[in-house]
Amino acid sequence: MAAPSLIDQREGRPRTVAEAILLVGGKGTRLRPLTVNTPKPMLEVAGVPFLSHQLARAKAAGITRIVFATAYKPEVFEEYFGDGSRFGLELVYVQEVEPLDTAGAIRNVADQLVSAPNEPVMIFNGDILSGVDLGALRAEHAARGADVTLHLTKVADPRAFGLVPTDADGWVTSFREKPQRPEDIVTDQINAGCYVFKREIIDGIPAGRRVSVERETFPGLLERGAKVLGVVEQSYWLDLGTPAAFARGSADLVLGAISSPAVPASTCERYDAALVLDGAEVAESAQLGAGTTIGRDGRVGADAAVYGSVIGAGAVIEEGVSVRDSIIGRGARIGAGTVLEGVVVGDGANVGAGNELLGGVRVSCDAVLPDSSVRFSHDAS
């Protein structure tokens, strides 16, 4: 297919297409069972599929065209976002036959890019909630003449991340795998999952096989003497890959700790610190807070308390239930008096009354947990 013209026909001068690639093909295994039915970037965060926030932020930063690199459940993305006109963006979808890993996925969409070889293409991981100034990142990339620019952030505990040390001028000196020993922690700077690539660097990635951007592409670029820049920016940043981070990110959007034009208005004015979506019914005596979202057509019964949690569309929280820092899938039911803390409940699961599920428990989609013989009375002192 011929690339669309970069010449604005009416004006007769170059048209700027600010282009991005969105990596959305991962299986999201750490978020199972939520990702059994829905790819991670399409899970609802603060009332809308997570990507809605990313697209809104990209658009606000002047991006006009986004190519989705899909692999797992590819159809779901196009069904929701279509050609992007509803969102003021041009969206294009490319599907991998087999997952190609991050850099393989980037290379696989090269045919669909319209940028010239030396023009910048932004690349986003589809699971990062971030307030990074995308315009500033692109401007720095251009001003410094970089081949690739990475957004780096600093974290208190970098053990779970790839480390990216830089020299005094910001040029990346090496890429380090997750540190195993204390002496391996050479920096607190980590790869934040947002890059600017010169188009020609994308074309240079080997085609048709799995390639990891962190393990192969970036170290290979350094070896070949490419100019790889790290821009440290410590605005809000969260990788939504784990259940705890996912609930936290949704709550932070609801609470305004990070802003997104895509957060819908609440339909219930009683709660300052919660988002209630269309059709949801919340009993007068229920308490909602700490950034909780109640999904469309959800129900929260009398004396229930839901804090810091994401309740899926059509889910039912019965009376006296206590839910904290948890994610409840679509159409799930939580029986009266049950206590959930730091728990993930899959779509359609049925958790009986009077149970207590704590710290990291995951309930499969459509699982049925019987009522507990030990009854917890929500009004017992």
Select 212 or 287, whichever has its Cβ closest to ligand GTP: 212
Residue from 17, 28, 53, 198 binding ligand GTP (CB under 6 A): 28
Residue from 17, 21, 40, 271 binding ligand GTP (CB under 6 A): 40
Select 81 or 271, whichever has its Cβ closest to ligand GTP: 81
Report yes or no: 178 and 162 within 8 Å, Cβ to Cβ: yes
By CB under 6 A, residue 162 contacts ligand GTP: no
Kind plus residue range of the DSSP H or E element containing 106: helix 101-108
Q: Closest separation between CB of residue 98 and ligand GTP, Å?
A: 8
* Measured CA angle at 216 (ends 200, 211), to 5 deg: 75
What residues between 115 and 144 interact with ligand GTP by CB under 6 A? 125-127
User: What are phi and psi for residue 45, nearest 5 degrees?
Assistant: -125, 120
Select 26 or 120, whichever has its Cβ closest to ligand GTP: 26
Size of the site for ligand GTP (CB under 6 A): 22
User: Near ligand GTP by CB under 6 A, which window of 20-28, 201-209, 273-281, 367-375?
Assistant: 20-28
By CB under 6 A, residue 102 contacts ligand GTP: yes
Interface mask toward ligand GTP for 276-305; x: CB under 6 A:
------------------------------
Q: In the beta sheet, which residues pair with residue 45? A: 48
Report yes or no: 335 and 371 within 8 Å, Cβ to Cβ: yes
Q: Closest separation between CB of residue 309 and ligand GTP, Å?
A: 20
User: Near ligand GTP by CB under 6 A, which window of 28-36, 75-83, 273-281, 363-371?
Assistant: 28-36
Secondary-structure percent of the chain, ordered helix, strand, coil, rounded to 5? 25, 25, 50
Residue from 17, 43, 91, 105 binding ligand GTP (CB under 6 A): 105
Q: In the beta sheet, which residues pair with residue 299? A: 281, 316
How many residues comprise the chain? 381
Residue from 44, 101, 119, 140 binding ligand GTP (CB under 6 A): 101
* Measured CA angle at 86 (ends 85, 89), to 5 deg: 45
Q: Closest separation between CB of residue 240 and ligand GTP, Å?
A: 9
Q: Closest separation between CB of residue 179 and ligand GTP, Å?
A: 17
What residues between 55 and 74 interact with ligand GTP by CB under 6 A? 69-71
By CB under 6 A, residue 100 contacts ligand GTP: yes
Eight-state DSSP code of residue 179: P
User: Token pair 């019914």 is at which residue?
Assistant: 281
Q: In the beta sheet, which residues pair with residue 344? A: 327, 362
Spell 154-168 as b/e; 16+ CB within 10 A means b: ebeebeebbbbebee
3-class secondary-structure state, position 246:
helix
What residues between 210 and 269 interact with ligand GTP by CB under 6 A? 241
Rg, C-alpha atoms of the chain? 22
Q: Closest separation between CB of residue 303 and ligand GTP, Å?
A: 36
Report yes or no: 163 and 186 within 8 Å, Cβ to Cβ: yes
Select 66 or 288, whichever has its Cβ closest to ligand GTP: 66
Eight-state DSSP code of residue 213: I
Residue from 29, 180, 373, 381 binding ligand GTP (CB under 6 A): 29
Select 111 or 278, whichever has its Cβ closest to ligand GTP: 111
Q: In the beta sheet, which residues pair with residue 23? A: 69, 125
Q: Closest separation between CB of residue 219 and ligand GTP, Å?
A: 17
User: Token pair 């002192």 is at which residue?
Assistant: 381
Q: Which residues bind ligand GTP (CB under 6 A)?
A: 23-30, 40, 69-71, 96, 99-102, 105, 125-127, 241
